[in-house]
A = this chain, B = another copy of it.
Amino acid sequence: MSEEPPSPSVRQVELLEAAYRYALEHGLADLSLRPLAAAIGSSPRVLIYLFGSKDGLVKALLARARVDELAVLGSLGEAGPPAGLTTAAEQIWLWLREPRHRPLLRLWAEAYTRSLIEPDGAWAGFAASTVTDWLALLAAHQPQPERDTAQGAAVRTAVLAALRGCLLDLLATGDRDRVDAALRHQLGLIENDRSARDLP
């Protein structure tokens, strides 16, 4: 309990990275120290030593997943001037639908729903914070007068809902053509409506 290295060492991030890859494959729900340690060439003893407890390890894994998520937000948000709400949403969707991102998105969905059921512990606040993160990104692509209105919040909420709803469908059915057409239809309607009001 008293033993816990203050700063993340080299070995620690190595193991965290290996554990992260393991979690992407097997999920977090049934995560167990002994199988995990065996798979990444470590031992339960070391994991407990480095992360304090299993809860600490799970928190570190969720934080690691969040780093990936924020990296996407950063690459889409800071790369140049605001691109317009629907354009940004399209770029996000291109990233979401990539088959190689599916393990990460499954893990994300698992952490999301788990934090709904078990609001305390390692999962606390995951769902709420991920919603606000993405909403903030979308807000950055809305023009200034609209951005701060309740109407503006509703529009970016709708865009986020379309993205997440389509993602859920895609993860469950894998039916890329249908889901792709659905999102494109949805964004097209929003785009039409916005251009009719002279909003980017």
Contacts and interface: CB of A to CB of B under 8 A. Distances in A.
A170 to B, nearest CB: 9
Interface residues of A, number: 51
Contacts of A161: 161-162, 164-166, 168-169, 179, 182-183, 186
Interface in A12-31: 26-27, 29-30
A71 interface: no
Chain B CB within 10 A, most for which of A106, A107, A151, A185: A185
14 contacts: A110-B113, A112-B113, A131-B172, A150-B178, A151-B181, A155-B182, A157-B166, A158-B166, A158-B186, A161-B169, A161-B179, A162-B162, A162-B186, A165-B168
Interface of A: 26-27, 29-30, 106-107, 109-110, 112-118, 127-128, 130-132, 150-151, 153-155, 157-158, 160-166, 168-169, 171-173, 177-179, 181-186, 189-190, 193
